Structure 1
């Protein structure tokens, strides 16, 4: 069996039960400003030494978030739309349906709203899309393939609203805060050959080797994340459409 874990560069298929991990750190502002400008600076010698031992490098979290946005729009969104379209074709093969023109129109409106970069307006349009989708599902509740359609739709809303739009709002807020925001000092560590996520053993040793830098004040926060979405920060309620 496979389960999907997600990072800001896309999805990963992981064997059932096999969690992968990522270490993220917040540097003190003095070192964070250096790392943002030149992550190979000699000023970061102690940190770079630890990273070399783990075949690792830093990625500024704001950049990771920002990179995810075009990835979703240019690649992942098309995959979700394809899955929904394939589910509709299966419904058509199993029995007639009305085509969902109202859903298609609501989808176009939601995408147009997203192009304005107004997250609240996009959420409002997404709610209209959800309402149209729910009405379509209710109209065709007896179709033998309706469950497949519902599953494809849920994946779309989960990723588009609870991750993409939440990430987009986070990036916009950080742009306003500039270098004073939490994520301005936040870095993900790609380790074990530059992997975004890695084994527990690698994460354990990396975290242990970073502790002296935290005690010295260079690092303010060390956090561990895993590849199970349930264990990661959850989107605010307004994104649960």
Structure 2
């Protein structure tokens, strides 16, 4: 059943624009993007910043309760992965990281015209179906209790 999954859109920005957008998501350098996001009650969060926030939260509250801590920390410490996630911005609608398909469809339709392949490189769609998501690499998995 397709209604069981939630969705998230991400946009990918050119390096120089990503740095500006991390500081000011309403910057005029983003052209019409802030207006499109506002229309849908959406905000954007740099994936690298989200990962760093997760790691900081885990370190402040005890990593035992954060099953993705080791993997996330390794990701932000890897220069290649760091650069990749610096360009990626998750779009949240009304404060939610994932949302129904119809909301994702409407936002994506309005975003398509702002993707120029130069400053706003592309859009991707992700869903909550575990079969479509990366699995934690074996070396970062917690041992299962006997």
TM-score normalised per structure 1: 0.51
Q: Determine whether 1:184 maps to 2:81.
A: no
Q: CA deviation at 1:65?
A: 0.6
| CA deviation map 1:97-139 (0-9, x unaligned) | xxxxxxxxxxxxxxxxxxxxxxxxxxxxxxxxxxxxxxxxxxx
Note if 1:48 corresponds to 2:34.
yes
Larger radius of gyration, structure 1 or 2? Answer: 1
Structure-2 residue corresponding to 1:102 = none
Who is 2:8 aligned against?
Answer: 22
How many angstroms apart in 1 are the aligned matches of 2:62 and 2:108?
33
Match of 1:173 in 2: 78
Change (3 A) 1:204 1:75: farther
Going by fraction, where is helix more abundant, 1 or 2? Answer: 1
**d(CA) in 1 for partners of 2:62 and 2:90?**
23
SS in 2 for 1:30: helix
In the alignment, is the contact (CA less than 8 A) between 2:22 and 2:45 conserved in 1? no
State the SS of the aligned residue for 2:25.
Answer: coil
Equivalent of residue 217 in structure 1, options 115, 118, 128: 118
- The counterpart of 2:64, out of the listed 77, 93, 97, is 77
Question: 1:216-235 maps to which residues of 2 (within 5 A)?
Answer: 217-235=118-136
The residue number in structure 2 matching 1:32 is 18
- 1:41 shift after superposition: 1.2
Q: Is the 8 A contact 2:63 2:69 kept in 1?
A: no
Gap change, CA 1:219 and 1:197, over 3 Å in 2:
same
Partners of 1:75 and 1:229 in 2: how far apart? Answer: 26
Cα displacement (A) at 1:54: 0.6
Return the alpha-carbon distance in structure 2 between the equivalents of residues 58 and 173 of structure 1: 23
Structure 2 gap ranges (5+): none
User: Structure 2-normalised TM-score?
Assistant: 0.80
Q: Does 1:202 align with 2:103?
A: yes
Residue 63, structure 1, aligned to residue 49, structure 2: yes
Q: How many residues align structurally?
A: 139
